[in-house]
Amino acid sequence: MNRIQILSPRLANQIAAGEVVERPSSVVKELLENALDAGSARIELDIEAGGVKLIRLKDDGSGISEVDLPLSLSRHATSKITSLDDLEAVATLGFRGEALASISSVARLELTSREAGADQAFKVSAEGRDMLPSVSPAAHPQGTTVEVRDLFFNTPARRKFLRTDKTEFAHIEEVVKRQALSRFDVGFTLRHNQRVIHQLRPANSQLEQERRIAQLCGTEFMLNAVVIDHEAAGLRIRGWVALPTFSRSQADLQYFFVNQRVIRDKLVAHAIKQAYRDVLYHGRHPAFVLYLTLDPSVVDVNVHPTKHEVRFRDGRLVHDFIFRSLHRALADVRPQDRLEGAVAAGEVEAASGDDRSSLMAMPLAQQALGLPVNVASASFEPAGATASEYLRSPGAIYPGASASTRSIQDQLRGYAALHPESGESNNDRSSVSYAEAAGEGKVAPPLGFAVAQLHGIYILAQNAQGLIVVDMHAAHERITYERMKQAFHSQTMSVQPLLVPLSVSVSQKEAALAEEFQDALQQLGLVIERMGPQLLMLRQIPVMLQQANSEQLVRDVLSDLQVHGSSDRIESFINELLATMACHGSVRANRVLTIPEMNALLRDMEATERSGQCNHGRPTWTMLTLSELDKLFLRGR
């Protein structure tokens, strides 16, 4: 081997650049972080040729003094940390002191800055070689401008790996989008080849922030987003999570920030995936913009060169906090919340020249056409009425009934008897109509009143906004599933000792993990004893999982404990069984329902958690507004 020798500063910087500067977007990320750390309120970014030819960033931050300017291009030189204590509680985006040195080693860099209160600005430049940077006076307002030209001009092998200008700029735009989402108080301007791509003003109010998110993530995301803001145990999570019906084929609309730093963390991703588990369609990905705030001393941001990953001191606490916050927020979404969001977003437009409410409240208008009219005499009572006031049908189920007062079997029998044997006409049965409720000045419920059943599959209902279409099997499947979960989890989990204990061979690490989490496993219904260095003995399992593959179940639970510090395998398996039972016990397609029975289902949906999706993640209902119907028939054109 060759003798050991110290690398030259130039070669050391270029090796560091391999970690920091992967492509033009990496340069933009480092420059943006420095500008934000400098307290900038306005940042302008000019890009040419996808960032290969020019990257120019101008900010109005605190600036750099003449004395510190040469040091800014040196390795391991920073103003953001001075001791180990600072590193353990770092609150700035950049702190490693390698960014500008690494960039200047593979590009032509020029930095001009004027410190706050200084009479003169100064400029320093470097061109990818080992030389002392020269400082000269310059004209510049308060703040800093960094110009990076001819990226990788002295490392042609690296330049060959770059993609087209369009692709490289797309990566730069994504970096700017992340920073714009993390700092609403800062204005951003992005230009590419002298063309303005984004011009974002500072957004301080809730409405302005939502407008910025709509501009960056799309209007449809905001129309389908749920606002979340929860705080507990020194943690706070806020932001917007999309409804499960607004899922994506790719994980391309997921932004998670920890103390205003964008990250992609496995623990966080698992917690969010677990929160969407019951409502997301197979193979789809959720969309969200979330902000987690916590004490900087309990999170380590120095575990990855690009600072995309973090490590939490108490990962299990953070995981459970994120999961429970999102799980509760998604469960609390009701049809009325989605309708209110649609109205607020302008989905419902006032009709020009027509009084919609008066038209929909006039059932006698049909008599002029010679059509038969048979309006039942039953009247609508608002939410909070008793079961008998809601429905006259003996097979209907009162939506407010809880699992503790009415067993799951009763509900299944009730819905199984939805179709009457007598064969009475729907018009002969008691029913509730939108026209009746409007005529009496009563407010219609969110999902309105049933009008008809289509092909034995869909329920058509009329509400104040337009037409509601409900998949009756999917809707009742969710209702039954939620009732069964509530009944099961309100009781103590039934367990069953194994007649012949099952021995499971594992690694020493897994065996130690089972011994460490023995109490937690017992709460899940698993009694596991360590019989040797690599041998476990399973003695007890939950009754509902007696037909499951017990050995694989133990391995999966231990794997979850090793990676995430917790496991939801038991609950997941039980919920799958309950979902299967709910699917088979729900009202099937091609079953004719009466108007009261359809209304009973609609009222149950309004009172049930996660009623917008079935157990498999498919939507249970959709709405066509009056304005959308008008467009179909060219009304008002």
Q: What confidence tens digit (pLDDT) does each residue in 72-123 have?
A: 888 777 777 777 777 777 777 876 667 888 888 889 999 999 998 898 999 9
The predicted-structure confidence for 517-549, as pLDDT tens digits, reads as follows 888 788 778 899 999 999 999 999 888 777 778
β-strand partners of 235: 232
> Do the domains 206-333 and 9-198 match in fold?
no
Residue 131: the pLDDT is: 59
pLDDT band at 438 (very low <50, low <70, confident <90, very high): low
Residue 135 — pLDDT band, cuts 50, 70, 90? Answer: confident
Whole-structure pTM value = 0.74
CA-based end-to-end distance of the chain: 84
Q: Is the pLDDT reported for residue 311 higher than 90?
A: no
What is the C-alpha separation between 348 and 339, in angstroms, rounded? 10
Residue 217 phi, psi (nearest 5): -110, -10
- Beta-bridged to residue 211, according to DSSP, are none
| 159-173, 252-266, 319-333, 421-435: range with lowest mean pLDDT | 421-435
Cα dihedral: 176, 179, 183, 184 (round 10):
40
Of 629, 593, 579, 324, the residue nearest 470 (C-alpha): 593
Fill in the amino acid letter for 206. Q
Question: For residues 76 and 17, is the Cβ–Cβ distance under 8 A?
Answer: no
Name beta bridge partners: 144: 59, 113
Query: pLDDT band at 159, cuts 50/70/90?
Result: confident
Cα gap 476→585, rounded to integer Å:
9
Point out the least confidently predicted range of 95-109, 431-445, 496-510, 552-566: 431-445
Please give the backbone phi and psi of residue 557, each rounded to the nearest 5 degrees, phi first.
Answer: -65, -45
pLDDT at 450 over 50: yes
> What's the mean per-residue pLDDT of the chain?
80
Q: Percentage of the chain surpassing pLDDT 70?
A: 79
Architecture field, domain 206-333: 2-Layer Sandwich (3.30)
Residue 287 phi/psi, 5° resolution? -120, 140
320: left (phi over 0), alpha (psi -120 to 50) or beta: alpha
Question: What is the CA angle 241-243-244, rounded to 5?
Answer: 115
Place of tokens 């010679």: 370
Instruction: Count CA within 13 A, CB hemisphere, residue 109.
Output: 29
Instruction: Tell me which of 181-195, 220-234, 431-445 is least confident.
Output: 431-445
Domain coordinates in residue numbering, the chain: 9-198, 206-333, 352-637
CB-side exposure of 284: number of CA atoms within 13 Å? Answer: 19
| pLDDT classification of 18: cutoffs 50, 70, 90 | low
Q: Is 99 left (phi over 0), alpha (psi -120 to 50) or beta?
A: alpha
Question: What DSSP line would sit under 76-137, residue for residue?
Answer: T--SS--SHHHHHT--SS--SS-HHHHHHTSSEEEEEEE-TT-S-EEEEEEESSS-PPEEEE
The pair of structure tokens assigned to 557 is 């639970």
Q: Which residues of 512-544 are buried (b: 16+ CB within 10 A; e: fewer)?
A: ebbeebeeebeebbbbbebeeeeebbbeebbeb
Kindly give, in sequence order, each residue whose CB lies less than 8 Å from that of residue 199, ignoring residues fewer than 6 positions away. 188, 189, 190
Contact 499/531 with Cβ under 8 angstroms?
A: no
What pLDDT score was predicted for residue 97? 65
Give the amino acid at 518.
Answer: Q
The DSSP-derived string for 550-604 is: HHHHHHHHHHHHHHHS---HHHHHHHHHHHHHHHHHSPPTT----HHHHHHHHHH
- For the structural domain made of 9-198, what CATH number should be given? 3.30.565.10
Cα separation, 356 vs 151, whole angstroms: 62
Helix (H) or strand (E) holding 337, with range, is helix 335-344
